[in-house]
Amino acid sequence: MNTMETNVDLFSAIHNGIRGLLYHTAGQLQTTRWSNPDDARAALDQLAYALELLHEHAQHEDDLIFPAIERVAPGVSDEAEAQHQQIDAKQAELQQLADHLRQETDPARCRAGVQALNRAFTDFMALYLQHMNTEERSMLALSQERLTPAELLAVRASVQANMTPERYREWLRWMLPAQSLDELVPLFRQVRGHAPALVAEQFMTIGQSALEPTRWEKLLSELAA
Ligand SMILES: [Fe+2]
């Protein structure tokens, strides 16, 4: 039996997860009752967590994914790498706004700080969404044309090896609910058929807790068919 994926995609699943992370964080920032200290802290903690994940993702691309594609298509990642610098600067600005807000006690200055943070985050999100489109347009098809499935799988494995098992599970909690059923059904089939039992079990546990119940039930019934 051929157990290897033939169309290995290094970008779409993780980018879908990041889109889900950005939408969720924007929603939380926008709907938080900032006058409640616990809610305010939770929103700022979510922002810090999202920025940490995005920083980690950019490092995986800079250190592992881009160099692999650059070897077969020199210069192809230049634009995306330049955008990473721009994104880094925006992330630092966001962190600064959040730090100020954490210290702020004056209600009027707090309201102004919340407005500034929300606007900065939506600007940042727009930039980040465009950045991921740039990466997908410039590198996804090219990587599949010029690298073999085995080479692409090795790059993906190197990314997974660069994070703790707990962090991998956190990424899965963002990635799984951010895919459509048309993507989830073959993914779960692949994992259940070919991944180690422990990995398959994690997919099932995280899928059940992260997907909406109706989508989870649908996924289970399609997997059983
Ligand atoms: Fe990127």
Distance 87 CA to ligand 1 centre (A): 9
Distance 115 CA to ligand 1 centre (A): 27
Distance 54 CA to ligand 1 centre (A): 9
Distance 48 CA to ligand 1 centre (A): 18
Please give the single-letter amino acid code of residue 57: H
On the question of pLDDT at 31 being above 80, the answer is yes
Please report the sign of the dihedral spanned by the C-alpha atoms of residue 215, residue 216, residue 220, residue 223. positive
Distance 60 CA to ligand 1 centre (A): 9
Render pLDDT for 8-21 as a digit per residue (tens, 0 to 9).
999 999 999 999 99
DSSP code string of 136-177: IIIIIHHHHHHS-HHHHHHHHHHHHHTS-HHHHHHHHHHHGG
Asked if residue 15 lies in contact with residue 128, where contact means CB atoms within 8 angstroms, the answer is: no
pTM reported for the whole predicted model: 0.94
Distance 135 CA to ligand 1 centre (A): 7
- For ligand 1, a single-atom ion, which residues have Cβ within 5 Å? 61
**Quick one: pLDDT band at residue 4, thresholds 50, 70, 90?**
low
Distance 80 CA to ligand 1 centre (A): 6
Look over the chain and give the mean of its residue pLDDT values, rounded to a whole number. Answer: 95
pLDDT score recorded for residue 1: 37
